[in-house]
Amino acid sequence: MTRPFRFGVNMMKPTGGAEWRDKCRRAEQLGYDVILVPDHLGMVAPFPAMVAAAAATERPRIGTFVLNAGFWNPALLAREVATTDALTGGRLEVGLGTGYAEAEHQRAQLEFLPPGGRIRALRHTAEELDRLLTDPAHTPQTEQRPRPPLLIGGNGDRLLRLMAEHADIAAFTATAGYENGILKALTPGQLDERVAAYEGFAAHRDVPAERNLLVHFVEVTDDRHATARRLPKIDPGMSQEDRLTLPVMLFGTVKQIAEQLREQRERFGISYVVVLDGAMDVFGPVVEELSGT
């Protein structure tokens, strides 16, 4: 089954109250389906920001993209989730990740675990959220039943397995992080392999998860080749052909970008696309082109 597209915008830039409300209303006007908030020190606190986003808008859902599991006690997080879901009329989606910024853990005086420990912490958080929020005795109760949708993001096998077991929305990072300031973006062939691995882990599921992708760069242009040559923070040795097809880089005319997203939905099953707030207006015409399809 081909899912219709959904589009989210991740609000990375901290703003004050009036500016925040205006920004969220602008996202709604442009047709975005989800207003998302990250979980980093130096940015807005996610839960009050989501409540404010929901109060300023009528249609979009709101969500975290993504909570750092290392920052949260599961029982306290379940209280935040349930309260926010109730206050927003059941519009909440909960995104979870392992956390990757060691400096933020140091600032918060929290232990920064090795990768395996962070994945175990994420698993524990996901399992506890599911247990607590689906318990009829838990208070406060969520508006959505049995609980708000859970998004988990990742790339490696252990995270893909965790996504297959617990996520209603499987978020493929399609990158292998940064190295010396260079984004290690996956080519379509490399993403094929990651999607195939996930599908193997998820073969037992009765209900397939929605699939998500975070886009790192958007530019509307009539000259795709010129843009490909100057893509920011990309390995200078990457071939022009690979640059033109990177799943996390969208550039071309509005119709070319829309066609790339249709092709990626057909190839990878990815129907839920998130852009960063700096690209919100630029990507708006693509949202209009593809909404409802």
228-268 confidence digits (pLDDT tens) = 999 988 988 899 999 999 999 999 999 999 999 999 999 99
Which pLDDT tens digit goes with each residue over 46-64?
999 999 999 999 999 999 9
- pTM more than 0.95: yes
- What span, in angstroms and rounded, lies between the C-alpha atoms of 71 and 51? 20
DSSP 172: E
The pLDDT value recorded for residue 180 is 84
234 has which bridge partners?
Answer: 183
CA 187/CA 198 separation, integer angstroms: 17
- The topology (CATH level 3) of 6-290 is TIM Barrel (3.20.20)
Confidence of residue 1 (pLDDT cuts 50, 70, 90): confident
pLDDT band at 179 (very low <50, low <70, confident <90, very high): confident
CA distances from 267 to 143, 189, 217 (A): 35, 10, 20
The pLDDT value recorded for residue 185 is: 95
> Phi, psi at residue 9, to the nearest 5°?
-125, 130
With a cut of 80, say whether residue 40 has pLDDT above it. Answer: yes
